[in-house]
Chains A and B, each alone.
Chain A
Amino acid sequence: MSKQFQFKLVLLGESAVGKSSLVLRFVKDQFDDYRESTIGAAFLTQTVTLDDQTTVKFEIWDTAGQERYKSLAPMYYRNANCAVVVYDITQTASLEKARTWIRELQRQADPSIVIALCGNKTDLAARRQVTEEEAKKYADEEGLMWAETSAKTGEGVSEIFTAIAKKLPLTAPPSARAGGPGRTGPARAGVDLNKQSAAQGQQEACNC
């Protein structure tokens, strides 16, 4: 029988390093050169097939710009199973910022979180400021996954998400909170407001 695992994935990184573009490439295989800062990207999911038996569904949280002025809510990190921390290989400062986000994740997120450091914009390699060696050395020291990508050409994008999927523990059930639309499994003790309101008028659970 095939199994699907669902995980919450959060994106972090300085503004304009290509967080949303990376997701857009991964989820819709699209790229937009003049993409505005994130607006309206509510809630994206994408499924990665590992083998005949196993698929991993990512529930992807974009920062929605809340990273800009120290205003990312604790809710964002809560129950995140994995994080992609993005920097721009043409901007040294963006790697510095990535280090700050990684420290923040180590402080706020669950200790078991899988973190991938991702150097984006390899299509602009001619303007490279961050060497592969430098970033990889840092990732190794911190025990992070590392890869380079180009959201524009698609290079390395699906690979990094697949690598994360492989690294996630598929033995234990995914965290209770990472759920999204299908979050009311039989094991859930919580109440589903959406389902509730849809079922209204059907005398559901009426004990009068």
Chain B
Amino acid sequence: MDEEYDVIVLGTGLTECILSGLLSVEGKKVLHMDRNDYYGGDSASLNLTQLYRKFRPNQAPPTALGRDRDYAVDLVPKFIIASGELTKILVHTDVTRYLEFKQIAGSFVYRDGRISKVPSTEMEAVKSPLMGLFEKRRAKKFFEFLQGWKDEDPTTHQGINLDKDSMKTVYEKFGLEPGTQDFIGHAMALYLDDDYITKPARPAYDRIILYTSSMARYGKSPYIYPLYGLGELPQSFARLSAIYGGTYMLDKQIDAIVTDADGKFVGVTSGGETVKAKQVIGDPSYFGAGKEEEGGKVRVIEEGKVVRAICLLKHPIPGTDDSDSCQIIIPQNQVGRRNDIYIAMVSSTHNVCAKDIFVAIVSTIVETDKPELEIAPGLNLLGPIHEKFVTITPVYTPTSTGTADNIFITRSYDATSHFETVVEDVQDVFKRVTGTDLVLKKREVEVTE
């Protein structure tokens, strides 16, 4: 390990693996290490042995759950939004050749004690039980307005300025009821809280269009999902990095981040050896997250906490037409909270568990000192829960951009239901590390027939 690298990457979560892959393709000499003996860090998918080792260290997985190798249980519940930025990166880097995707079968929203399919087009809105007859007409006009919007054609604007007028103004213009605003803002624009309503409408417009265009791609839901679990995503980008010369080391304890007298990054010490590099990128857990301060520099701070309950069920979620996979959003207003509760469910259709098992993850941003009680409205929708693993995970963010000391820290995985914020973090770190914007180029691939 006496070589010097351009970049050392610590942690093999999705964010770090995408960055590692992109930087290797750019010609950087990358060393990528992880303290675990598996890929994925906090965004890994675990088999039964790994799952029990993590949550029930003193208990072997029950044999009734089936074969260890049939399981790939995600630690972070997220889906890929079909027309989103992650899809673009997957296609442009050509890692899609290592992956296979399936649709998520349905997208649902909780309202007045029951769950209904999220309407995403005028047609669906007309059929939806979420709205009364007159409200449907208003919603139809609202969707027609959004889908007809052209920046360059003022006649499509109907007097609205998306960059100045608030979303509240837009809702009021079409006279939409609070309940309708709820499912549009939370189940389609996928806002976790109501702060967006008083802000300019443009981002909400973009998010609704992202949702409806994603929905239009494959039909059943706006989401796709990789067979064998989300953990396949970091593995595929790690392979991309390796193919372009990246060196991979798993199961490596990181003893210290070495800096010089000015605090600038020098290298990483592991197993008594220090490897040098110009820059280091890593997830917050390698930079003091969750540890007592030791008089060193505070590099990451906690922004909040997310509670996640991984539930193994022996039946599909009631009220979802026996969907083999789905998302259910419980808007905050419906249950008197500030943040939405999400349910993400996948099953053996996606090769993530044994046949007749369904894996549902209920999550939300923690608001009280009794996080598990906060997700009760979600847990109550699942029916009998066969097995439940609960985590309360702090969400960390770096205290500095890293450009001064060449230490670039990624963010923890947040409570959003898709990977758009992960890609934002990738773009942000890429720019800080290289000084240039991330431009996706079609990868030159060697395909010999």
Q: Which residues on B sit within 8 Å (CB–CB) of A65?
A: 242, 245, 247-248
Q: Which residues on B sit within 8 Å (CB–CB) of A193?
A: 87, 90-91, 96, 101, 224
Q: Say yes or no: is A105 at the interface (Cβ < 8 Å to chain B).
A: no
Q: Say yes or no: is B243 at the interface (Cβ < 8 Å to chain A).
A: yes
Nearest CB of chain A from residue B128's CB, rounded to whole Å: 15
CA A74 to CA B87, docked complex, whole Å:
22
Q: Which residues on B sit within 8 Å (CB–CB) of A208?
A: 121-123, 147, 212, 216
Name the CB-closest residue of A to B101.
A191
Q: Which residues on A sit within 8 Å (CB–CB) of B56?
A: none
Name the CB-closest residue of A to B228.
A78
Name the CB-closest residue of B to A110.
B69
Give B232-254 as 1s and 0s: 1 = Cβ < 8 Å from A's Cβ atoms. Answer: 10011011001111011111100
B87 A41 Cβ-Cβ under 8 A: no
Total interface residues on B, CB under 8 Å, equals 50
Q: Which residues on A sit within 8 Å (CB–CB) of B238?
A: 66, 71, 73
CA A68 to CA B87, docked complex, whole Å:
31
Q: Which residues on A sit within 8 Å (CB–CB) of B251?
A: 70
Q: Which residues on B sit within 8 Å (CB–CB) of A176?
A: 100
Among B122, B212, B243, B449, point to the contact of A40 (Cβ < 8 A).
B243
Give A27-40 as 1s and 0s: 1 = Cβ < 8 Å from B's Cβ atoms. Answer: 11000000000111
Nearest CB of chain B from residue A59's CB, rounded to whole Å: 9
Q: Which residues on A sit within 8 Å (CB–CB) of B252?
A: 69
Nearest CB of chain A from residue B84's CB, rounded to whole Å: 11
Among A44, A71, A75, A181, point to the contact of B98 (Cβ < 8 A).
A75
Among B218, B244, B447, point to the contact of A39 (Cβ < 8 A).
B244
Q: Which residues on B sit within 8 Å (CB–CB) of A180?
A: 97
Q: Say yes or no: is A202 at the interface (Cβ < 8 Å to chain B).
A: no
A71 B244 Cβ-Cβ under 8 A: no
B239 A183 Cβ-Cβ under 8 A: no
Q: Say yes or no: is A177 at the interface (Cβ < 8 Å to chain B).
A: yes
Q: Which residues on A sit within 8 Å (CB–CB) of B123?
A: 207-208
A206 B97 Cβ-Cβ under 8 A: no
Q: How many A-B residue pairs have CB under 8 A?
A: 120
Total interface residues on A, CB under 8 Å, equals 43
A190 B248 Cβ-Cβ under 8 A: no
Q: Which residues on A sit within 8 Å (CB–CB) of B217?
A: 196, 205
CA A47 to CA B449, docked complex, whole Å:
8
Q: Say yes or no: is B102 at the interface (Cβ < 8 Å to chain A).
A: yes
Among B82, B91, B243, point to the contact of A41 (Cβ < 8 A).
B243
CA A75 to CA B235, docked complex, whole Å:
7
CA A47 to CA B227, docked complex, whole Å:
27
Q: Which residues on B sit within 8 Å (CB–CB) of A183?
A: 100
Q: Say yes or no: is B39 at the interface (Cβ < 8 Å to chain A).
A: yes
B248 A194 Cβ-Cβ under 8 A: no
B91 A191 Cβ-Cβ under 8 A: no
Which chain B residues (32-51) contact chain A, with CB distance < 8 Å? 37-39
Which chain B residues (118-139) contact chain A, with CB distance < 8 Å? 121-123
B248 A41 Cβ-Cβ under 8 A: no
CA A130 to CA B382, docked complex, whole Å:
60
B97 A181 Cβ-Cβ under 8 A: yes
Q: List 11 A-B contacts (CB under 8 A).
A: A41-B243, A42-B445, A43-B97, A43-B447, A64-B239, A64-B243, A74-B38, A191-B101, A191-B102, A193-B91, A193-B224
- A42-B445, A44-B448 are known contacts; what are 17 more A-B pairs with Cβ within 8 Å? A43-B446, A45-B449, A46-B448, A64-B243, A66-B238, A68-B248, A70-B37, A74-B235, A75-B228, A75-B236, A177-B100, A179-B100, A190-B102, A192-B101, A208-B123, A208-B147, A208-B216
